[in-house]
């Protein structure tokens, strides 16, 4: 190689291949990798057990046992709250559209969320 070889133009064929990764994953699949059904059942069992030991306290007077649907919704709501920060917990259920977060309010009532929390 001599000095003039470096001065010649370089020709590269146009890139025509797909340039991004070709894999789709749903957020529920990621969630289920972290929270297996065995882990969720354990969390539900311990939450219901704790609530039954606390019966008689104001918060647990009308306790309804938590189902897997309740717990999945609760964890989903916690993730959304982490991504969409508001000043107060109650703001997610606020009637004012400026604060209201309908995706959370549609999945669980404020009172049920407070009970589980």
Percent of the chain residues topping a pLDDT of 70 = 85
pLDDT greater at residue 2 or residue 65: 65
**Looking at the predicted structure, is the pLDDT value of residue 28 above 70?**
yes
Is 58 domain-assigned?
yes
Q: Which residues form the domain of 66?
A: 24-116
pTM above 0.85, yes or no: no
| Count: domains in the chain | 1
Structure-token pair, residue 7 = 């001065």
What number is the average pLDDT over the span 78-104?
Answer: 84
In this model, does residue 43 exceed pLDDT 90? yes
Q: Is residue 74 part of a domain?
A: yes
Closest by CA to 99, choosing from 109, 89, 114, is 89
- Give the CB-side neighbour count of residue 98, counting CA atoms within 13 A: 2
Residue 53 placed within a domain: yes
Is 3 among the domain residues? no
Q: Is the residue at 107 inside a domain?
A: yes
Q: Is residue 16 part of a domain?
A: no
Whether 2 maps to a domain, the answer reads no
Q: For residue 48, which of 62, 67, 35, 61 has the smallest C-alpha distance?
A: 67
Q: Is-contact 115 77, C-beta < 8 A?
A: no
φ, ψ of residue 55 to 5 degrees: the values are -50, 140
């Amino acid at each position: 190689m001599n000095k003039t070889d470096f001065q010649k133009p370089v020709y590269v064929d146009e890139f025509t291949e797909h340039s991004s990764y070709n894999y789709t994953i749903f957020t529920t699949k990621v969630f289920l990798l972290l929270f297996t059904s065995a882990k969720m059942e354990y969390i539900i069992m311990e939450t219901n057990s704790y609530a039954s030991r606390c019966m008689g306290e104001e918060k647990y007077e009308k306790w309804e046992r938590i189902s897997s649907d309740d717990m999945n919704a609760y964890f989903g709501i916690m993730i959304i709250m982490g991504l969409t920060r508001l000043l107060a917990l109650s703001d997610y259920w606020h009637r004012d559209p400026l604060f209201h977060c309908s995706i959370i309010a549609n999945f669980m009532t404020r009172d049920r969320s407070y009970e589980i929390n």
